[in-house]
Chain A
Amino acid sequence: MVAEHAVWVYGEARDGRLTPSTRELISRAATLGSATVVLLGVRAEEAAENAGRHGTTAALVDPNPAYDQHLTTPAVEALCYLIRERRPHVLMFGASYHGRDVASRLAARLDCGIIANATEIERSGEDYRVTAPWGERTIATCELTFPGVRLVLFRSKAFSAEEKPSRCEVEEFQAPLSAEAKAVRIVETAEEESGGPSLSDAGVVVSGGRGLGDAESFRKVEELAQLLGGAVGASRGAVDAGWRPAADLVGQSGTTVKPSVYIACGISGAVQHMTGMKNAKVIVAINRDPDAPIFRSADLGIIGDVNKILPQLIEEVRRRKEW
């Protein structure tokens, strides 16, 4: 019988609710050992209330407002403090912008290893095996060889959030925070909502890239997305060009999507983009270049002028919807 391990999740919440990524991670953590979620900030306690729905047995909360007012380092110090006091076996992070910052800084502070971009974790005796895509055509199975806590940063949607109600003990703690922890002050937080369903949860995503040529042509992408009740996505090229806000970026630097249909319009398919959408059930691509990498992953690829095909497609969809 292998001893039960303490598997921790660094939880993130928005408006007092656990983020989808956190719910995915705690669901998986609960299958590996006794799952504990760490939640920081003024609304941490509120967020902890729902942690038990996904099999978490303990929540550690510190309601210090410093976590909401300063970037990254307060969370790093709190985790450092907890790890030294309680020695968890595994600490899981979601690959949000904040999660990446905290995980990387913590790994350097503890001088320990970290596996980023992970998609799976499994117990192997007293240790763990973690899988992560590496390169464009391979998946690496890794182990962390450093003693102490294993830090793993997971891509979003690596797991699904399972309903598994359990009793969750909420324990409040107060991490001692240094003055240096407050070095970066958050002055303002603003939303750039693009309307329609959320990109990360939409069943249909229509994305546009540099191949569209200009902002005006991107309107057609928005029109098709609206017609299909889907969300609008963008490649880095389209965001660079200022045609869409950064919040619409699909890919490694942006949102990971897993819709049933993904339509890529004028997107060549650089690896950063592909990591964010290649798990869509059906991928459709329109691109002028027959050698565009996007076609290697497409179920249906049309080689041609996106600005000619897109209006035809909109007409075609509209006609069929009217039947």
Chain B
Amino acid sequence: MRIVVCVKQVPDPSAVIYDIDKDTKRLVREGVPLALDPGDEVSLEQALRLSEATPDSTITVVSMGPEKATEAIRRALAMGAHEGVLVSDSQIAGSDALSTAKVLAAAISRGPYDIVYCASESSDGYTGMVPGMLAELLGLPLLSFVRHVEVQDGRITANRVIERGYQVIESSLPAVVSIWTGSDRARLPGLKGVMSAKRKPLEVLNLEELGLDPATVGESGARERVLELTDVEQRAAGIIVPDDGTGAARIADLLQKTGAV
């Protein structure tokens, strides 16, 4: 089974408040701790399980971002992926979801594959648009918001989260699978994994090497223009107090005031 997992390096969601630079109109990624997107760790976990259950499987991690994003790929390799591809080019900066999907589709199409995993959304941009776009560009079925999959005889069956429960869906392979962000807990890379990750192949490509016209991606390819950015109306500062034994009573007072009790 040839498995591709799309990953992204994001400002560490557990440590950073996501801010937008009002001049560049882009997410602030400089001077903040970065991490492999936790949603991607979960989809990689699912890919690793499939690979472990299927003899002769390989996992290729594909990403787009600045040079520094190789760190996120190394983490994925340390978790158990076999090789990595990073598309890095200054002309990619400012890409919207469709441009991102075009770059990933081009990188994925360079080699044969049976199944492409991605997270249902990223932690930083969270538009959730890339999986559907990627499937469309690759001309493949999309099994979306998936909690777990079973693969047998070239067919895939998946459990898909919906608003009030779940669906069981199935299709032939190859296919794109978007993993629902809450579907699993990712393993931690062990020391052996971290050491071996350093020796695993990691290729860095630019747009030219990928055969993509820079005019179709990045800021020049964007189909949307941000006209202005305004600050979110902040809620009035609340009362935040350590519990001195009266915490529960304070909450009950407020509930009574609002009519909830």
Enumerate chain A interface residues (CB-CB to B < 8 A): 71-73, 76, 95-98, 100-105, 107-109, 111-117, 129, 133-146, 153, 180, 183-193, 203-204, 228, 230, 236, 239-240, 245-247, 249, 252-253, 255, 260-261, 263, 270-272, 275, 278, 281-284, 286, 290, 293, 295, 297-305, 308-309, 312-313, 315-317, 320-321
Contacts and interface: CB of A to CB of B under 8 A. Distances in A.
Interface in B227-248: 227-232, 234-236, 238-243, 247-248
A304 B141 contact: no
Given A140-B20, A228-B261, A100 B129 contact: yes
A313 B248 contact: yes
Interface in B117-172: 120-121, 123, 126-137, 139, 141-145, 147, 157, 160-172
Nearest to B102: A108
Given A71-B141, A144-B223, A313-B248, 4 more contacts: A138-B229, A138-B232, A246-B180, A270-B13
B18 interface: yes
Contact of A96 (B18, B97, B163, B228): B163
Nearest to B254: A300
Contacts, number: 296
A308 B128 CA distance: 38
Contact of A140 (B18, B129, B226, B256): B226
Nearest to B128: A100
Report which residue of A135, A245, A261 has the largest number of chain B beta carbons within 10 angstroms of its beta carbon. Answer: A135
A108 B98 contact: yes
Interface of B: 13-14, 17-20, 22, 25, 27, 96-98, 101, 120-121, 123, 126-137, 139, 141-145, 147, 157, 160-172, 175, 180-185, 222-232, 234-236, 238-243, 247-252, 254-256, 258-261
B126 A185 contact: no
A317 B242 contact: no
Contacts of A299: 235-236, 238-239, 254
A145 B223 contact: yes
Given A185-B170, A193-B164, A272-B126, A142 B27 contact: no
Contacts of A286: 247, 251
Contact of A191 (B145, B165, B183): B165
A103 B20 contact: no
Contacts of B101: 108
A101 B132 contact: yes
Contacts of B228: 140-141
Nearest to A131: B230
B140 to A, nearest CB: 8
B142 A139 contact: no
A312 to B, nearest CB: 4
Nearest to A102: B132
Given A104-B132, A133-B232, A303-B240, A186 B169 contact: yes
B120 A253 contact: yes
Contacts of A304: 242-243, 247
Given A137-B17, A138-B229, A138-B230, A117 B170 contact: no
Contacts of B164: 191-193, 247
Given A104-B130, A261-B255, A295 B248 contact: no
Q: Which of B19, B145, B163 has the most CB of A within 10 A?
A: B163
22 contacts: A71-B141, A72-B144, A97-B144, A100-B128, A100-B132, A101-B144, A104-B132, A105-B136, A113-B223, A113-B224, A183-B171, A184-B169, A184-B170, A184-B175, A249-B182, A253-B120, A261-B260, A283-B235, A300-B250, A302-B242, A302-B247, A302-B250
Contacts of A309: 243, 247-248, 251
B229 A139 contact: yes
B238 A239 contact: no
Contacts of A137: 17, 19-20, 231-232, 234
Contacts of B161: 97, 246-247
A281 B259 CA distance: 12
A187 B133 CA distance: 24
A283 B120 CA distance: 28
B181 A253 contact: yes
A260 B234 CA distance: 18
A26 to B, nearest CB: 19
A246 B166 contact: yes
Residue in A143, A240, A270, A297 whose Cβ sees the most chain B Cβ within 10 Å: A240
Contacts of B129: 100, 103-104, 107, 114, 116, 153
A108 B133 contact: yes
A250 to B, nearest CB: 11
Contacts of A261: 255, 258, 260
A316 B165 contact: no
B169 A187 contact: yes
A187 B260 contact: no
Contacts of A116: 97, 127-129
Contacts of B136: 76, 104-105, 108-109
